[in-house]
Amino acid sequence: MIAVVDYKAGNLTSVMKALLAVGADPELTQDPAAVLRACKIILPGVGHFAATRFLEERGLKAAIQEGIAAGVPFLGICVGLQWLFAGSTEAPDCPGLGAFPEICDRFAPGKKIPHVGWNSLSIHPESRLLRGIDEGSFVYFTHSYRAPIANVTVAVTEYGEPFTAAIERANVMGVQFHPEKSGSAGLRLLRNFVRMPC
Amino acid sequence: MLTKRIVACLDVSAGRVVKGVQFVDLVDAGDPAELAARHAAAGADEIVFLDITATHEGRGTLIETVKRAAQQLFVPFTVGGGIRTADDAAAVFEAGADKISINSAALAHPELIGAIGSSFGAQAVIVAIDARRTAGASIDQAEVFIAGGRTPAGRRAVEWAREAEDRGAGEILLTSMDADGTRAGFDCELTAAVSEAVRIPVIASGGAGDAHHFTRVFREGKADAALAAGIFHFGIASVRALKEELQRDGIPVRLPC
């Protein structure tokens, strides 16, 4: 079972549909016990970083931490990726998971914000998550904050500046774009994740 | 590179896709779910579903039709028409929308923009503006209409777009009522005026006829996305053929798609 963590942030229906379309058995949950039982964990999300406070309050953060430590594959989407970092200037009083030390920040002024639309990926060839997705493929983004380039970055996108489109370190993965809304490239990514050994 | 988006719009009335000229004279164009899937397969970057008679008839959005259309759609899906409260919006998201579009209700209750944004994120809230220009008047005088173009709202389009941004809208969907359905080209002047007045993306709508119109609205109109309905439904221009032409014109588009 893949636990899709419901923390009242975003287009959960779309994420569930896309997972079903690639043959997964997703379960939408707010229950830490279900997260602990899961063989994979997905943290979706669009919206404000402060929404992740719910994870702490409901004991979900601890359950996710335990799962990650046990080697359970984890995929964060959009805010779910940003939450893996130490925090975001969008909600300075709300710490992230801290798996990676960087801080997420708003795009520099000069471009239209939010960054909305289909933008291209520059992909690290060894990424397992992005396997089979062509260099330069377009995926759908919608966000105002972004993670900086880090040593865990496996895909980079350019919007006024280069930023992290995907990260991957062992069982911890995240994407800034929305694979559930990125056509065949997005479904391929979800299939890659779903087929990873538990 | 961020590409310019081509948005296929389904104007839905009584569960069927319809197409009108300058908001009247509706003809049947097919089943919403079927058309949504067909446009996505043909390369549309986004699908917009507008229940065009919901506000006018005082009823909610067609949730079941939305659900059906969203079922096999893996590109962004926006739903508008008849969303009057944050609860209405929640029901539409639950049915599978990624974004909602509000028009009449945003003008009546501007605080609704922020209320929906606080639950679902600002990027999920599109404020739709239907505008009409009076001959000889300046662009800044373009007037906003509500209830599917039936009633003047007593607001100016450019000034209302700015307020919508301040209140937390994620995008503006700007429809020129003068150009709508004419296939004579987008209102580039009006689009540019709104696009330059705000810092959020602007989707141009109304008047699409050929690829050249799209090139112009991206260049001169400074649009981030352009929407069309009739030309796609009736197979006059497939989205993919349109994008290939735009690429030849030097407009960045998502290809292959």
Asked whether the beta carbons of B28 and B18 are under 8 A apart, the reply is: yes
Picking from A142, A144, A178 by the largest number of B CB atoms within 10 A of its own CB, the best residue to mutate is A142
Q: Which of A17, A120, A143 sits opposite B123 (nearest CB)?
A: A143
Name chain B contacts of A14, Cβ cutoff 8 Å.
70, 77, 96, 98
Question: The CATH number of the domain where A131 resides is what?
Answer: 3.40.50.880
Q: What is the pLDDT of residues A92-117, one digit of tens each?
A: 999 999 999 999 999 999 999 999 99
**Range among A39-48, B39-48, B119-128 with highest mean pLDDT value:** B39-48
Q: For residues B43-56, give the mean pLDDT.
A: 86
Band of residue B236 on the pLDDT scale cut at 50, 70, 90: confident
Q: Which domain holds residue A129?
A: 2-195
Quick one: which H or E segment has residue A142?
strand A138-143
Nearest chain A CA: its distance from B214 CA (Å): 17
The set of residues, in sequence order, having a beta carbon less than 8 Å from that of A66 and lying 6+ positions away, is A36
Write down all domains in chain B, each with its CATH number in brackets.
5-248 (3.20.20.70)
CB contact under 8 A, A48 and B118: yes
Contact call for B1 and A158, based on CB within 8 A? yes
Q: Inform me whether the pLDDT recorded for B57 exceeds 80.
A: no
Mean pLDDT of B155-162: 97
Mutate to test the interface with B, among A6, A14, A118 (most CBs of B within 10 A): A118
Cα–Cα dist A131/A166, whole Å: 12
Contacts of B40 in chain A (CB under 8 A): 183
Strands (E), chain B: 5-13, 16-21, 24-30, 46-51, 77-80, 99-102, 125-132, 143-146, 151-156, 171-176, 202-205, 225-228
Would you call B74 and A18 a contact, using CB atoms and an 8 Å cutoff? Answer: yes
Q: What is the mean pLDDT of chain A?
A: 96
* Residue A54 contacts B, CB cutoff 8 Å: no
Nearest to A142 among B118, B119, B123 (CB): B123
Distance from CA of A111 to the nearest CA of B (A): 8
What ipTM was assigned to the predicted interfaces of this complex? 0.93
> How far A75 CA lies from chain B's nearest CA (Å)?
18
Q: Please report the pLDDT score of residue B59 as a whole number.
A: 61
Instruction: Measure the CA dihedral A119/A125/A130/A136, to 10°.
Output: 20
A9 to chain B: which residues are within 8 Å by CB? Answer: 120-121
Closest by CA to B257, choosing from B75, B77, B8, is B75
Place of tokens 């067609």: B62
pLDDT tens digits, B182-217: 899 999 999 999 999 999 999 999 999 999 999 999
What's the alpha-carbon Rg for chain B, to the nearest Å? 16
Q: CB contact, 8 Å: A10 with chain B?
A: yes
Provide the pLDDT confidence category of residue B122 given band limits of 50, 70 and 90: confident
Tell me the three-class secondary structure of B21-46, residue by residue: ECCEEEEEEECHHHHHHHHHHCCCCE
**Residues A43-90: pLDDT tens digits?**
998 778 988 999 999 999 999 999 999 999 999 999 999 999 999 999
pLDDT at B233 (0 to 100): 83
> How far off is chain B from A169, nearest CA to CA, in Å?
26
Candidates B76, B94, B170; nearest CB to A114? B170
Residue B55 is predicted with a pLDDT of 62
| pLDDT tops 80 at residue A153 | yes
- Which of B130, B178, B187, B224 is catalytic? The answer is B130
Residues B66-88 have pLDDT tens digits of 999 999 899 999 999 989 999 99
Cβ pairs bridging A and B (under 8 Å) = 103
| pLDDT-derived band at B247, boundaries 50, 70, 90 | very high
Q: List the single range of A17-31, A76-90, B132-146 with lowest mean pLDDT.
A: B132-146
pLDDT above 70 as % of chain B: 95
Contacts for A176 with CB less than 8 Å, ≥ 6 apart: A78, A81, A82, A141, A143, A146, A147, A157, A163, A164, A165, A166
pLDDT tens-digit series, residues B88-114: 999 999 899 999 999 999 999 999 999
- List of chain B residues whose C-beta atoms are within 8 Å of the C-beta of residue A11: 93, 97-98, 120, 124
State the total domains in chain A: 1
Q: How far is A35 from chain B (nearest CA, A)?
A: 22
The owner of tokens 């079972």 is A1
Residues in chain A within 8 Å Cβ distance of B124: 10-11, 46-47
Q: Which residue has the higher pLDDT, A122 or B147?
A: A122
